Each structure stands twice: as C-alpha cells, then as structure tokens.
Structure 1
Amino acid sequence: MQQPAQPFLPLEHVSHNCRSARFSHSRYWVRLFQTVTVLVCMASTGTAAQSSSADAQTLLRKAQASLAAGNFAEAIQTFEHARRLAPDRLEATRGLLLSYLEAGDLAPAVTIGRSAVERWPQDAQLHHWLGLAYFKTGRNEQATEELKRAEQLETANFDIHFDFALVLLSEKQYPPAADELQKALKIKPSNALAHVLIGRAYQNSNRTLEAVEQFQIALRLDPKIALGHYHLGFAYASLGKNHEAIAEYEKEMAHSPENPDLVYELGHSLLETGDWKSAVVHLRRATQLNPQNAESFYDLGKTLLLQGDPQSAIPALRRAIDLNPRDPSPHYQLARSLDKIGNVTEAKQEWQRFSDLRKSQQESGGMATGRVH
C-alpha cells in the first residue's frame, strides 16, 4: 500500500507561540509557508480557546453546585479559578460575588461588586448584590443607590423590591418600604414573609387595620411563619382588642416560648384584661429573659401592686427606674407602693420626682410613654 504523502511543512518549523518561522526556499515557498503558519496559528488558538472555554464551563458548573450546597469556601475558590480562565464570563463574576455575600465575607464582596458594576453597568443582578453587600455593612445610602439602579434595570424582580424594602425598614422609612413590598407582592402574591413585612410597615404608619389584614393573609399562606401570630397579636393589642391579642400570642408561644418580647406582650395584654395572676407569671419570666427591658419591670411592679403585694412591687419598680430614669410612671407606682407599706417619707420623695418629671415633659413637649398610670 502506498504510504500517504508527508505534509510539506513539518510542524516543528512552526513555533508554539505563533511567531512566523523562517524557511529558506524561494519567495513562493516563503509565501506558502507564511500562509500555512497563519492557518496553524489560527487552529492552535481556536483549539486553546475552545479548551479554555470548556474548562471554565466545567468549573462554573462545579462552583454552582458548591454554592447550592452551601459550601461557600469551595464555591469562592472555584468561581475565582473560572474567572481567571474566562475573565469575560459574567456568570463567573456573578457567582463569585454571590458566594462572598452568602459566606458573610463582605469586604471582598463590596470590592468585587464595585468593579463588576463598572464593567457591566447594565446588569441588574450585580447592582442588586452590591446593594446587599452595602446593606450588610451598614452603608444604607450606598445600598439604596445600588438597589434603585437595579430596579431601573429590572422592574419585575421580586427579590430586588423585597431587599430594597428591608433597607427602608431598617431606616424606619415605613411608607416607602410599604410601596416596595406592594411592588414585590404584585409579582409574588403568595410570599407570606412579604405580607408580614408590609403588615409591619402599615402598623408603624398608623394603618393598623390594613396591618391586621396583611398578617391574616400571611398566616393563611403559611400558618407556621415565624412571628406571624406575634405581629397579629400586637396589631390587635394596639386596637384595644386584648383578648384577641392574647389568643394570637399564645399561638406564637408554641413556637417561640423564649422570645422575651413575645412573653412581655402576652403579660402586658393579660394585665390589661385584669388577669393579674397570669400576667405576673409571664411578666416575671420576661424580666428574666431580658433584664434590660424597663417595661417588663414596670408592668410587673404595677401588677404586683394591683394584686395587693406592694412589698414585692417595690424592687421591680426600682429596677424600672434604674433602666429608664426619665420615665415618670414607675415613680408614680413606686410612690403608691411606698404609701401602702407606710413608708411616707420615701413616698413623698417619689411623688415629687414624678411631678418634676411630668412637668419637665410638658415643658419640652415630650412624653416618655403613652400609658395611663
């Protein structure tokens, strides 16, 4: 069998870095050599590019799997490797930014995010995640700027509206937070947490009836949603519906029995309904769960006094005064307790402190609390 002809140009004459090789024949052969060299270089470059792209794609799949599994350190390492192989791959930079964000490693998240939005200024997701990184580092002004930009680029993204609402809620900007959550709920009306958050925004904007409606919707969607019954109970209590509030608080207690705010609010509503015996149990527990809450000590002292135990009320009321010395109400209840045990001298001092603090409030136009003594 006749052997196939050997290639005219041996490949060893072509340098691996695609520079032109020399050949010592006639001008014709030189031109032919140059043509073959270019073709070989193009083939070599194309093959290398394809190989690099395939490697990067494999790394990206591996990195995405690590991110989905919560292995953020491995995801970061793999996305970084993919980005070095393919620096123009947007998904590599996106993945790296998200991995740092999920890992809570916020300094590199901000650094990568800032350079990424400069390179891809029209990418909503990069602006979104950079905004989150700013938010988590307490830079809410920059977070707002990035999230607004993300919204402009992608108006129908639930997560962007939701996360922007979180920033606004943290700034106590309740009406604009409610606006963002309304936009989010138009996209995903079945998201229970968004209903809870818009309820909180309404509650803090004196739109309590609307808040009640949102909390009820959230609980229909997810009966076990965290603090759903607590927020509904608080809304009922603010409407003076303490029995309804107690029912909701007791449902929440099944899930969060050690939550100091929940235990306090349950005790407070029991106090308001006149169930002093049950109130004392929960209020005493509230002071144990959060020894820095002046309201728990005040309500405990007040309830003990109503039960006819002024001696036990006194230390609780003194603690409330220590925690919030500008509040006149504990002085009022302490004066009454001291009078009850016959300590007239100290009682007069407390009556005077109560009077002075009330006068100071009236002159400054402020109120320490809205309670009736």
Structure 2
Amino acid sequence: IIYKVFEDLGGVLIHGLKIKPGKPTVIGATDDRKLLIGLPGFPLSAMMIFMVLAKPIIMKIIGIQSLEEENTIKAKIPIRIETGKGRRHTIPVQILTSANGLIAYPVTGDSGAATTLSIADGFIDVEEEKQYLSEDEEVVVKLFQPLKISSISIVGSNCPALNILLEEGGLWDAKLVNVGSFSGWRALKKGEADIAGTHLLDPETHEYNIHMPKKMGLENDVDLYRGYTRTIGILVAKENPKNIKNLEDILRDDIIFVNRVKGSGVRTFLDIKLAELGVRDPEKKIKGYTYEVKTHTAVASAVAQGRADVGIAVGYVSELYGLDFIPLTEEYFDFAVRKDRLSKESVKRFIETLRSESFHKKLKEIPYYKTCSETGQKIFG
C-alpha cells in the first residue's frame, strides 16, 4: 500500500533494499522534491531501517553528527555468526559484562516479534561483503539508548517460570539471555554469566544436569542448585487435526516439525529419544528438523500460526496459545552458579527467592510446573 501512496504523491525511487531485516523498504519523493521513506511493517525491521537509513539523514539535515559516535561501544561476539549472502545484516544484541570486557550476544528471532526488539541493547551493522563474524571477534555495537549494566546476568535455557522468579525477587534489571542450556554452561566457563539455567539430560544415567560440571571442567568453579520440575511434551493445533499420538509421528511425511536450537535441553532430549528409536540423520527424515527457534513460546507460535504441525515445548505455553498438549516427560530445570559470584547481592537474592515460600506458591499456580523437596538446595559443589 505504501508504494501506491508514494506513487500518488510523486513517485517511487527504490522499492527493496539488500539488507536483512528490512528488505521491503520503500523510498520515494513528492512532486515538490520532499523525501519519503516507507519503513517495513515488522517492529525489528522498522527499527533497523530507521537506525541505518532514516536517522542518519535526519541528523545530517538538522546538523547533528557527533551523537552517532557517542552511542557506540566495542564488544566481543561469543559465537560465530553467519552473515553475507549478498545482503547487509543488522543484528540486534544484548550486552553482558565479563572479565574480558563487554560481550554482545545476538538476539535471534522473527523480525515480527516485538520482544526481539524490546530486549536488545543495540545492534551490529555488518556489510554485505563480510561472510561471517568469528567467535570472540571485536565489533562495534550501535546502542538504542545509553547502556545500563545489569546487576545479574543469567544465560542459558529459556523458561517462562524464570521470569516469575526474577519478578518475585525484585530483580527487575536482570539480563536474561536465552541461548540454550549448553551455551549457558559455556558462558559460565568463560565468565560471561553469573547463573545458567539448565535442563540437560545425561544419556547414560538419565539424570538431569548433575553431570555437566565435570563435562565442562567446572567442578571447582560452580555450584548447582535444584530448581523445579516442569512437564515437556508435544504441541499440536487444537483438536489435534493431524492425529499426532507420540514422538514417532513426527517422522510422518505429512508432518512439519519446528525444532529448538542445538544445545538446548529440549533439543538434547529429542536427539536422545530419536537415537533410542533408531533414527539416524534426523534432518533427512523429519520435515522441519532444521527449522530452529530459541524459545518455548516461539515453538507454540509456529504451531498456532500453522507454520508447523508439531513442536516440543513446556506444557504451560500450550495454554497460552490455545493448543493441545501431549506430555512426554517431567524434567528438572536447575541453576548453575559461578562460585566467584556467590557474594553478589543480586545472586544471593536469586537463591533466596528460589527457596522462598512466596515463589513456591506462585509456581504452583502455573500449569505443568512443580517445586520439589530439594528446590533451592545445593546439589553439587
């Protein structure tokens, strides 16, 4: 519609840019030579185009140029990021502090999700010629607003109940980075996180999380606190139109699956169960196995919007999105804490809240969640 309006006002100069996100951008001019910029409809796309195109033009017109440098910082990327492919990339990031300086964690997600934009501190602008950003590469981050350092950083698995825990503890400025359980342990090892949320199943013992300190070489560096249990299972559309009954059904030719990212607890659980079923090369046998999202709500959204027929997530989100739920297992969601951060007041408050009756009462109100006798107790360290 916007390009038609621009044509009526004067004309369209450019329709479509080689940039991600923001390809649908429209640039035009009125008959009396006024510039027109049509931003994309999705929140993240609109903000990125405003920051890299509209804002610089406005600043130049009004004679302000120094603010651009004042609103940038240098930080390191914790993981390799693929870019290039003939397009300029703008990547939203969250900023954490570590002994080695500032760390910029990419915020991945649908450009239509307002939450992606709401949790980002700024973005990285990558030219189209650059094919990737290397792990630990230093980059320039353009901030949306002056950077505020959080009192506590929690990196790891995504869990809706974690937000309730933070609210109950009054930890309003907590930096919560959802990258999956295994990446949370990596962040602890590199000193980039105070706490990691984790629900990783040991394929040999079928216990959750207790094997990870030794596996990561962190036996002397972390304490592991028991969290709570939650039920994960299969999400399907209301009334289960594809008649999904169990995990084997995701192998059917008529089923499209939405997966979690590699390193997440749900993905680890799935891969273990597929191996037990004798499934090799699941990316070749499951339609959508490579369709990855980072959160439980993103799985639910994909199923609710018909982009997938089935996904695995915590049962709670099935009620949020009006989906049917087929339980698979009850798992432990625990918290690994760096020992050198235990003296921080915010970390102390986090652990105290985990043990508190008020949090236990709140958790009982959430479907598919339960506390246990060990909740808040140290189980390793």
The structure with more strand, counted as a fraction of residues = 2
User: TM-score range with shorter-chain normalisation?
Assistant: under 0.3
When normalised by structure 2's length, the TM-score is 0.27
Q: TM-score when scaled to structure 1? A: 0.28
Structure with bigger helix share is 1
Determine which structure has more spread, i.e. the larger CA radius of gyration. Answer: 1
Q: Flag the structure with more relative contact order, 1 or 2, with Cα contacts below 8 A and sequence separation at least 6.
A: 2
